[in-house]
Amino acid sequence: MNNQAAKTVSDALLGLDFKNVGIGGIVYTIKPPTIKVICRAIHHFSNIALRGDNIMEAIKELPKATEDMLKGISCFICGNDSLVKELENGTFEEVKDALGVCFSMMDISAFQCVSSMRNVSMLAARPKQ
């Protein structure tokens, strides 16, 4: 586990913490997203009905590419939804693979930490009854 942490840190410092995805004959680079980019993407991804035990299973069950998927992927690639028209040229398999990469670039530990901190703050700020 320590070796993975060292690799993650060194990759980030060297600028090697990105992944490439091919959609419609064009290769796009997805870099680790900022919180702002994650929020933009989640805004679009939240419109997709995902069902399954985990994200990857849910993605495999999706019947077709939707505009919301493409907008979310576009956010990961360039920070906004301006690439939707270009991404429409990709196959559904390419879109599903790109979705998987997008989700893999998000570390949910940050969200878990925020959730825990909120719970702690609610305990500390609980009004007297």
Position 128 scores a pLDDT of: 60
Q: Closest Cα partner for 75 from 45, 96, 107? A: 45
DSSP class of residue 91 equals: -
Dump pLDDT digits (tens) for 5-26.
676 667 666 666 788 999 999 9
Q: Is 110 or 2 the better-scoring residue by pLDDT?
A: 2
The answer for residues whose C-beta is within 8 angstroms of residue 113's C-beta and 6 or more apart is none
Largest CA distance in the chain: 63
Residue 67 CA to residue 100 CA, distance in Å, equals: 16
Dump pLDDT digits (tens) for 68-117.
889 999 999 999 999 999 999 988 889 888 988 888 877 655 455 545 55
Q: What is the pTM of this model?
A: 0.67
Residue 47 CA to residue 43 CA, distance in Å, equals: 7
- The number of C-alpha atoms within 13 Å of 51 and in the hemisphere containing its C-beta is 4
User: In Å, how far are 35, 51, 92 from 108, measured between CA atoms?
Assistant: 11, 18, 26
Dump pLDDT digits (tens) for 41-74.
888 877 777 666 666 666 666 666 688 889 999 9
